[in-house]
Amino acid sequence: MERLTSPPRLMIVSDLDHTMVDHHDPENLSLLRFNSLWEHAYRHDSLLVFSTGRSPTLYKELRKEKPLLTPDITIMSVGTEITYGNSMVPDHGWVDTLNHKWDLGVVKEETSNFSELTLQAETEQRPHKVSFYVDKSKAQDVTKELSLRLEKRGLDVKIIYSGGMDLDILPQGAGKGQALAYLLKKLKSEGKLPVNTLACGDSGNDAELFSIPDVYGVMVSNAQEELLKWHAENAKDNPKVIHAKERCAGGIIQAIGEFKLGPNLSPRDVSDFLECKVENVNPGHEVVKFFLFYERWRRGEVENSEAYTASLKASCHPGGVFVHPSGAEKSLIDTIDELRKYHGDKQGKKFRVWVDQVLATETTPGTWIVKLDKWEQSDDERRGCTTTVKFTAKEGEELAWEHVEQNWSEESKLKDDSSWII
């Protein structure tokens, strides 16, 4: 967040399962569409927040399974844990807030009296969250009786039922909504209150997100019955909350457009990159566009034509250099020539490429350094490189690729120099 010198243009606060992540989309296409839009148009001046019911353990598991971007802020365990950046630094102020009228021992003691409750996995039990499974038909009665018992013990708690089976007990001051309100207050005190905030969800534990004043909201098309019921009873006349026509991340992109919050055309929705131009110099866009082209080239989804390779070569500085993760150096022109022999080698396979944390800095007038993480997944194998690109301005507002250097990411499972192209 230190990169932001002024209020973020947009802050997206999104649930993960069945909202940002579509578990019925084996190719992860809607998520990848969102990824390229965010890195192309928003990463440099906006904030991405993931707000999930998952514990840190299950959140990290999801990151290994799906092509998720790195968020600026992560809210986990149904709004009971807030962390910042790659290192996931905890917000100790939030922890102090949640300790008010909360006693984990008493909660465990009282819930042990309910045979209807089945404790969830140990990883899901957190300092300010106790989680169970409960049959849908018994959830209402259990919630009512348990609330009374805990109140008699001097606790002030909140019980959230979502997903048709999950029952979470939290401090009254916790939850996705309160975590967002706390975050907005904190950002405002730092002079960085977002110009616009969009909350995105699909289930009951996301309802609170849509209750925060001045926040736009989107319920994705596949939203669960419990959230639609809440909306009908509490927010049907609120023009700032919509029920999208598209599933998951597709619904988030739809909402960006409907609320006019900024660009909503994902580079993945552009069929011909030769026609893909931006009005202003945007090194981040060049990176997103190239690696998306690289994916399509290897999948055989673009024609193996001289026009494409000529266009790529024209965008390179004549003395441009590529430093491979192995340490070997070669010219960028030679790298593009080599790319020709890989046309269509991933056709019919699960091969996807995405970029993360694309940040461009103009170091001197007309010179940019772009840092990013480039990832590719082929079937079940994922690997990635930290990538640094130096661009220089050419005549006519165009940019030339002058230097590209890649090193294996610490998170990369596979580090095979021989099969890595760029």
- How high is the pLDDT of residue 277? 60
Strand pairing category for 367-378 and 381-393 = antiparallel
Q: Given this model, what pLDDT does residue 5 score?
A: 87
90 within 8 A of 82, measured Cβ to Cβ: yes
Of 218, 296, 249, nearest in space to 23 by CA: 249
Q: Which helix (H) or strand (E) holds 292?
A: helix 283-299
Residue 71 DSSP one-character state: P
Provide the 3-class DSSP secondary structure of residue 146.
helix
d(CA 193, CA 180): 12
- Measured CA to CA in angstroms, residue 116 lies from 105, 122, 133, 146, 312 at distances of 19, 18, 8, 11, 63
Q: Which of 315, 348, 247, 316 is nearest to 19 (CA)?
A: 247
CA distances to 79, 96, 109, 131 from 171, in Å: 10, 11, 16, 13
pLDDT value, residue 271: 85
Helix (H) or strand (E) holding 13: strand 10-14
- What contacts 130, CB < 8 A, 6 or more positions away? 104, 107, 108, 111, 168, 169
Give me 23's structure tokens: 């578990």
Query: CB neighbours (10 Å) of residue 182?
Result: 20
Helix (H) or strand (E) holding 106: helix 104-111
Classified as helix, coil or strand, 388 is strand
Q: How many CA atoms, within 13 angstroms, populate the side-chain half-sphere of residue 177?
A: 20
Residues with Cβ within 8 Å of 319's Cβ and at least 6 positions away in sequence, in order, are 331, 402
pLDDT tens over the chain, length 422 residues:
678 889 999 999 999 999 999 999 999 999 999 999 999 999 999 999 999 999 999 999 999 999 999 999 999 998 999 999 999 999 999 999 999 899 999 999 999 999 999 999 999 999 999 999 999 999 999 999 999 999 999 999 999 888 889 999 999 999 999 999 999 999 999 999 999 999 999 998 899 999 999 999 999 999 999 899 999 999 988 999 999 999 999 999 999 999 999 999 999 999 876 665 656 678 999 999 999 999 999 999 999 989 889 999 999 999 999 999 999 999 999 999 999 999 999 999 999 999 999 999 999 999 999 999 999 999 889 999 999 999 999 876 689 999 999 999 988 878 888 889 99
Looking at the whole model, is its pTM more than 0.95? no
Which helix or strand (DSSP H or E) is residue 159 part of? strand 157-162
At residue 396, the pLDDT reads 67
Report how far residue 77's alpha carbon sits from residue 174's, in angstroms, rounded to the nearest whole number: 10
Residue bearing tokens 């992560």:
74
**Predicted local confidence at residue 420, as pLDDT:** 92
Q: List alpha helices for 196-247, DSSP H.
A: 225-234
CB atoms within 10 A of CB 414: 13
Order of all β-strands in the sheet with 196-201: 89-90, 81-84, 73-76, 47-51, 10-14, 196-201, 216-219, 241-243
Q: Give the C-alpha separation, 219 to 206, whole Å.
A: 9
Assigned token pair, 363: 């170091």
DSSP 305: -
